[in-house]
Amino acid sequence: MSDEYTIRLYEPRDLDAVYRVCLETGDSGYDATHLHDDPKLLGHLYTGPYVTYEPTLAFVLEDSEGVCGYTLGALDSEQFYRRMGEEWLASLQKEYEDPPGDPTSWTPDQRLTDALFHPPTPELFPEYPAHLHIDIIARATGKRLGKQLMDTLIQALRDHGAPAVHLGMSVHNDRAYKFYIDYGFIELKRDEDTIYMGLKLS
């Protein structure tokens, strides 16, 4: 690890920073700030429950300017999504209103808000029970830091006894797809929006 960058376990003081990273990578790996009036919605769905329920599988990448990336994991996907629905989303539903009207006319924020009330059925892969997310903002890309972040989480998943892990990524994120293939992931399934990748850990 370069002296300029540190990978460490997530701490509660990092919450706003990981939400910001999620937003700045939320458009197929690129900055989605311009797409959203509510900067927390993406984080509510894709970072908050992980750092809350699986903090021992949450790692941040930090440089002199602050947190610039993270990797987040869930050991048992089925159990995690159940808890996320029953506790995390149920709490957020008290803060938001289910968007009315024609979904084809919704803004990006309305589509995310709808997911708080009607989350899509998660894809589960019994042979790959754990899952993960990894995001790095622009200033820290191209430095092989993604591999080091991934190595950190993969070792933690192994230490927790996970036999295999999967992830979902946008079909439009060619850069991420190459990264996962080079790392050793295989493609498990794809639809018009998402590619699912898997990696055996033992």
DSSP letters, the chain, are --TT-EEEE--GGGHHHHHHHHHHTTBTTB--GGG-SSTTHHHHHHTHHHHHH-GGGEEEEEETTEEEEEEEEESSHHHHHHHIIIIIIHHHTTTS----S-GGG--HHHHHHHHHHSPPPPP--TTS-EEEEEEE-GGGTTSSHHHHHHHHHHHHHHHTT-SEEEEEEETT-HHHHHHHHHHT-EEEEE-SSEEEEEEE--
Four-way CATH pick for 6-200: 3.40.47.10, 3.30.70.270, 3.40.50.720, 3.40.630.30:
3.40.630.30
User: Whole-structure pTM over 0.75, yes or no?
Assistant: yes
- What's the pLDDT tens digit per position in 165-202? 999 999 988 989 999 999 999 999 999 999 999 999 98
- Sketch the domain layout of the chain as residue ranges: 6-200
> What are the tens digits of pLDDT across the range 65-110?
999 999 999 999 999 999 999 999 999 999 999 999 999 999 999 9
